[in-house]
Amino acid sequence: MDYSKQIQDIAAKLFADGKIDVFVGYRMNSFDDNQIPVVITDPKEVAELVFTEKSVFNLTNYLKADHTRNKRVGLVVKGCDSRSLNLLLTESQVKREKLYIIGIACEGVVDDKGQKMQNCVECIVPDAVVFDEMLGTPKGIRDYIVNADIIELAGKGLVERREYFEQIFENCIRCNACRHSCPLCYCAKCCIDQETATIYNGSNTSSSAFHALMTWSLHLAGRCVDCRNCEKACPSHLPLHLLHKQNEKVIYDNFQNHLAGVEEGDRGAFYKYSLKDPDDFIL
Amino acid sequence: MEEVKEKIVSIEKPDLIAPPDWKPVIVGILCNWCSYAGSDLTGTSRTQYPPNIRIIRVPCSSRVDPWFIIKALQTTADGVLISGCHPGDCHYISGNYYARRRFLVTRELLKMVGFHEHRVQFSWVSAAEGSKFAQVVKKVTEDVIKLGPLHLYKKENFSK
Amino acid sequence: MSFSTFVTDKTGLQKLYEAIISKHETYAPVEKFGKYDYKKVSSLKECDPDSPIAMTMSVKPLFFPRASKIMKYEANSSGTTIMETDEDPLAGKRVVLGVKHCDARGLQVLDAVNKWDYIDSDFLKRRANTVIFSTRCDKADTHCFCTSLDYDLEKLDALDVAVVNGSDGKIYLQARTGKGDIFLKENSDQSTMYDVQNTMDDVRSTKYEEDMKKQYIAFTGSFRLKMDYKDVNEKMAKRFDSPAFEEASRNCVSCNTCAFICPTCHCFKISDEKIKDTGVRYKSYDSCNNVYFTLEAGGHNPRPAKFRRWRQRSMHKFVYYKERFGVNLCVGCGHCAISCPVNISIFDVVNHVANSPASS
């Protein structure tokens, strides 16, 4: 999977035609074979652009930054990234006519150690679902696989699970990197950052971490696209995907196989309902 | 107050034993149009139910953000009861349908991070079901007494 | 003033560590989710004093905790009562094992600001009661650049007791402060350790000097990142209006991780946890990369743009702090680059700015 040349050509052409002001892509790191995102405004820098299986970061996160706001943006998206883009479009965070989207039929990306990422092994929608131009051959939607870690956790007892999650919340340093690197957390001021809110207090204790992470994951339930930007950003290496995958599984099982952002115009599972939703747990 | 007789151990943390004078606190978040009126009817018809519940009135069950539940569990509550109109009876036509989806996901997530499923319970109680409200509160209180005190992720200095 | 230096080997060091852990309150790097953080330990097995530098969090939280209580209060109709907080859990006598050299330097940098203007007695008390065993690295990591920033073997920057791997499996324990000297003498085990200065064997001492030199050359040679730091402060000061800040910070996602894991960042916020009429006031970390960091009550924000926040961050580290305290607020540990989701290093930013054309 190497589309560097194609992306460079497309970006150069877009700049030459005056169709975009900014291009968001990947470039090589200066010191190893990993890649970092790059925001290009100068057509001369187009030659830096690359795309291989090391292109990990979800670039739709940059659509909320100052450099891209109200500008015409060219963007590279993989399958999961395009799902988050779909949600951003429906939630009126970006305008479709201002974007030129290069979709990738993704074959899965690898982490620093060269191993295929877990979310790519379990990927359901590898092809970009919203694009102006598609690179690679689309492979279609795959079957839903329940996350291996969730299955493992479900087999454990209550006390064991409590101990495991206590460690997660204790090791959280409350830097909020997960939230800032999430493409779908675009609120101008997050509810857990409100100084006046007595409901949440900004101290960096583990009970605050519990409150913040639980609230965060529940506000993303039915919207999370499993791009794992949060895990990449976490300085404590916490398995944050557990919270999201659990929600995703419950939603997929109970709410008509809903997957966030796969269809155009999807607003997430909590913005719609069905009369047949399960209510056997309600007294 | 529902008195606790025998020795009670917290289900999530078996080495935590409830003090002898422990009385469970249950936070009830009730919808204004059905469940709150239902609880009113329970009172006016003089039906007995455990006084461990502390009632908070909200406009609709879909007003309940998951963090209301989390906040209650982190401060003083040992259990939370959320109650709204029966499906189809919502004053705002479809509020409780949206709420139902959120409740299921919240409940499953809390279960995964180590809360017993009976800590957070949901019910549909209409304005005419005074006796059902009494029954629900009784059941929730009994369940929570069996589970023992909640200690998880409590805000320091504020556990009771 | 010279302090004692002991020579031992791997088993001797292990024995010493075990003795320390059994006798004193000890903190050491403990692995959790692939990342090491300093936790209280009760045996050598559960921790790893030789944890890799890239995977180890800073030791700063042991002196400047992520959240510490300032006071408790209770308000009622008759007024507000302020109560004392519980006893500080970090104030007792303790030992920290396996602190990285740069991390230990970070604490010395922080001493300056904690002794200045407002004296942070909590921080200084924690520092005074702690003996630190700092390990010198044999090899630099990808993002390390400590040799570019005032690092000097002769300055003896490490704290209390430095653990240095010599050749032939020898390990040198060098006391670097009076506190470390006393501690090392009290706890040294005569059967496995011997004092370099007191030994009769002259050859051994000269070998020690040679060994140190070799070590140092090998260590400094292993750095990927090198910067001529001598005029970087002047260069930075002249480039306040440089567009280079904007270029260097363009792909930052403002996630604040860099400030939270930095061994020298010391900005904090005050927040109240309150229920009904009682509350606790907490002091916890904050980051200047956060949009809300400078947001004023009236709604005005002097640093709304990302590059302005980056400018503040790099100028504080390399200009303002140096002007005031004579030392850079950066120790070159590279943790910011390691933890950054998009691998921005303060080194790259500063290098980029310092080498850009000066503003008029």
What is the C-alpha end-to-end distance of chain C, expressed in Å?
48
Neighbours of C55 (CB within 10 A): 16
Same domain, A158 and A266: yes
Residue pLDDT, tens place only, C72-104:
888 888 888 888 887 888 888 999 998 988 888
User: Do the chains contact at B105 and A247, CB–CB below 8 Å?
Assistant: yes
Whether the CB-CB separation of A190 and A182 falls below 8 Å is answered with: no
Tell which residue, C293, C292, C349, has the closest CA to residue C317: C349
Q: Which helix (H) or strand (E) holds C134?
A: strand C130-135
User: Do the chains contact at C278 and B155, CB–CB below 8 Å?
Assistant: no
The runs of H, that is alpha helices, within A185-240 are: 206-219, 229-233
The answer as to whether A279 is a domain residue is: no
Instruction: Locate C211 and state its tokens.
Output: 């060994």
Contacts of C60 (CB under 8 A, 6+ apart): C103, C106, C107, C110, C262, C263, C264
Q: Which residue of B has its CA nearest to A272?
A: B98
DSSP state of B9: B
Contact list in B for residue A152 (CB cut-off 8 A) is none
Q: Which residue of A has its CA nearest to B116?
A: A158
Q: Which residue of A has its CA nearest to C339?
A: A235
For testing the chain C interface, which of A236, A237, A238 should be mutated: the one with the most C CBs within 10 Å? A236
The runs of H, that is alpha helices, within A220-265 are: 229-233, 241-254
Q: How far is B138 from chain C (nearest CA, A)?
A: 27
Q: Which residue of A has its CA nearest to C341?
A: A233
**Chain B contact present for A171, CB below 8 A:** no
Tell which residue, C345, C334, C319, C336, has the closest CA to residue C260: C336
Residue pLDDT, tens place only, A22-61:
999 999 887 778 888 999 988 888 998 999 888 889 999 9
Measured CA to CA, the distance from residue B19 to residue B9 in angstroms comes to: 10
Whether the CB-CB separation of A31 and A43 falls below 8 Å is answered with: no
Q: Which residue of A has its CA nearest to C36?
A: A236
Residue pLDDT, tens place only, B134-148:
999 999 999 999 888
Which residue range forms the structural domain that includes residue C120? 5-354
The answer as to whether A277 is a domain residue is: no
Residues in a beta bridge with A103: A77, A134
The answer as to whether C360 is a domain residue is: no
The answer as to whether C221 is a domain residue is: yes
Q: What percent of chain A has pLDDT over 90?
A: 28
Beta strand pairing status for B79-84 and B120-124?
Answer: parallel
Residue pLDDT, tens place only, B69-83:
988 888 888 999 999
Measured CA to CA, the distance from residue A183 to residue A68 in angstroms comes to: 13
For testing the chain A interface, which of B67, B150, B157 should be mutated: the one with the most A CBs within 10 Å? B67
Report pTM.
0.89
Which letter, b or e, does each residue of C241-260 get, where b requires 16 or more Cβ atoms within 10 Å of its Cβ? ebebbbbbbbbbbbbbbbbb
Measured CA to CA, the distance from residue A68 to residue A101 in angstroms comes to: 14
Same domain, A116 and A189: no
Coil, strand or helix at C334: coil
Tell which residue, A176, A149, A192, has the closest CA to residue A230: A176
The runs of H, that is alpha helices, within chain B are: 35-44, 66-74, 95-112, 130-147
Q: 212-231 in A: which are within 8 Å (CB) of B?
A: 214-215, 217-219, 221-222
Same domain, A157 and A38: no
The answer to whether the Cα torsion of A283, B6, B10, B11 is positive or negative is negative
Nearest to A277 among B97, B106, B114 (CB): B97
The answer as to whether C207 is a domain residue is: yes
Same domain, A123 and A209: no
Same domain, A101 and A168: no
Name the domain count of chain A: 2
DSSP state of C146: G
Which residue range forms the structural domain that includes residue A219? 148-271
Given the structure tokens 């480039």, which residue do they identify? C239
Whether the CB-CB separation of B24 and B159 falls below 8 Å is answered with: no
Instruction: Locate A91 and state its tokens.
Output: 């939630």
Same domain, A95 and A166: no
Residue A135 backbone dihedrals phi, psi, to 5 degrees: -110, 135
Measured CA to CA, the distance from residue C300 to residue A74 in angstroms comes to: 32
Contact list in C for residue A186 (CB cut-off 8 A) is none
Residue pLDDT, tens place only, B7-63:
778 887 887 888 888 888 999 999 999 999 999 999 999 999 999 999 999 999 999
For C56-60, C145-149, C150-154, which range has the lowest pLDDT when averaged over its residues? C150-154
Name the domain count of chain C: 1
pLDDT at A92 over 50: yes
pLDDT given for residue B132 in this prediction? 92
Instruction: Locate A283 and state its tokens.
Output: 């007294």
**Chain C contact present for A193, CB below 8 A:** yes
Instruction: Locate C107 and state its tokens.
Output: 């604490």
The answer as to whether A234 is a domain residue is: yes
Contact list in B for residue A273 (CB cut-off 8 A) is 94, 97-98, 100-101
Same domain, A59 and A83: yes
The answer as to whether A60 is a domain residue is: yes
Contact list in A for residue C251 (CB cut-off 8 A) is 36-39, 62
Residue pLDDT, tens place only, C270-324:
888 777 778 888 888 888 888 888 888 888 999 888 889 999 998 998 899 988 8
For testing the chain B interface, which of A174, A218, A245, A272 should be mutated: the one with the most B CBs within 10 Å? A218
Measured CA to CA, the distance from residue A231 to residue C286 in angstroms comes to: 21
Contacts of C102 (CB under 8 A, 6+ apart): C53, C144, C146, C263, C331, C332, C333
DSSP state of A221: T
Same domain, A15 and A119: yes
Please report how many Cα atoms fall inside a 13 Å half-sphere around the Cα of residue A160, on the Cβ side. 6
Same domain, A131 and A205: no
Same domain, A99 and A195: no
Instruction: Locate A215 and state its tokens.
Output: 């609230």
Q: How far is A232 from chain C (nearest CA, A)?
A: 6
ipTM of the complex: 0.89
The answer as to whether A281 is a domain residue is: no
Measured CA to CA, the distance from residue C154 to residue A158 in angstroms comes to: 56
pLDDT at C110 over 80: yes
Q: Hey, what CATH class is B26-147 in?
A: alpha beta
Contact list in A for residue C253 (CB cut-off 8 A) is 61-62, 65, 180-181, 233
Nearest to B75 among C72, C275, C280 (CB): C275
The answer as to whether C161 is a domain residue is: yes
